[in-house]
Structure 1
Amino acid sequence: MNFLNLPITALYGGLCGLLVILLAANVVRHRLRSKVSLGDGGHRDLGRAIRAHGNAVEYIPLALLLMALLETNGGSATALHTYGIILVAGRLLHGFGMLVPRGSANLPRQLGIVASWAVILGTSVQLLWGRIG
């Protein structure tokens, strides 16, 4: 049987997987403390935890899929590690920005989402226009 060998994407996929589990555990912690089974029950901290987890689950799979496609199509290790570092750092920043109570817009959250978009945009462009770098 022939399996794909994607060691770079696998590294960042593993790191992102751990982050998703940490964010999910945080949702469960808030649910138990608030005694809320579904929704957020009007608890702002629980609502933020739910969205931090949900946002990670919305963006990480696409970014990793694009990285995997780039890796299978001969993308350079340097480019892939750059995308992976930006993705993980961005998701950590976004999660932190979502979970620390502040105004609706804050710098870690903003940097985190821009980092995720940059990875999706960069990998997409490389896949469409050839392998740059």
Structure 2
Amino acid sequence: MDVLTAMTPAQAAALWSGLMIILLVVLGVRVALARRGNKVLLGDGGNEAVLLASRVFGNAAEYIPVAIGALLGLSLLGMPAYVLHVLGGLLFVGRIVHAAGLSTKGVTAGRLFGMALTWLPLLAAGAMLVVHAFVGTPHG
């Protein structure tokens, strides 16, 4: 835990951004494997398993770049590392929980909880970015 508390804001942003990028690659590999296993060359080929894997990846691809941008912006503003750890950690867990929940049919608690863990920190990050655009950094 000392490693996390000793990080600079840039290192904290890098940690969570890197983990989310790795998650995105893992989800992309799942799409490739689903296509290969179902002999689909492009798109989903009308195959439900490929379509589901593609949507899990697509949903992550819609939110992860925004999350990374928010973390980097807050880092550039000098937001304390612990703030980036809280936001980044919630976003990362939210993306994992949502991907797991979306990997099954129907509305699941994982889908709902995962989206809440994505939207709430994004909303908080967005609000912090707007406020600090007008009032400056937290250190002055």
TM-score normalised to structure 1 length: 0.88
1:51 aligns with 2:83: no
What stretches of structure 2 of length at least 5 have no aligned partner? 1-8
Cα distance in 2 between the residues matched to 1:60 and 1:102: 23
Give 4+ residue runs of structure 1 displaced > 3 Å after superposition.
none
- CA offsets 1:3-35 (integer angstroms, 9 cap, x no match): xx8211110111111111110110011001111
- CA offsets 1:112-132 (integer angstroms, 9 cap, x no match): 112111121111111112367
What stretches of structure 1 of length at least 5 have no aligned partner? none
Aligned pair count?
Answer: 126
Partner residue in 2 for 1:18: 22
Partner residue in 1 for 2:5: none
1:102 aligns with 2:105: yes
TM-score normalised to structure 2 length: 0.84
In 1, are the aligned partners of 2:90 and 2:117 still within 8 Å (CA)? yes
Cα distance in 2 between the residues matched to 1:27 and 1:118: 28
1:39 aligns with 2:37: no
How far does residue 73 in structure 1 lie from its aligned partner after superposition? 0.5
Partner residue in 2 for 1:64: 68
Identity of aligned residues (%): 33
Aligned counterparts, 1:77-92, within 5 A: 77-92=81-96
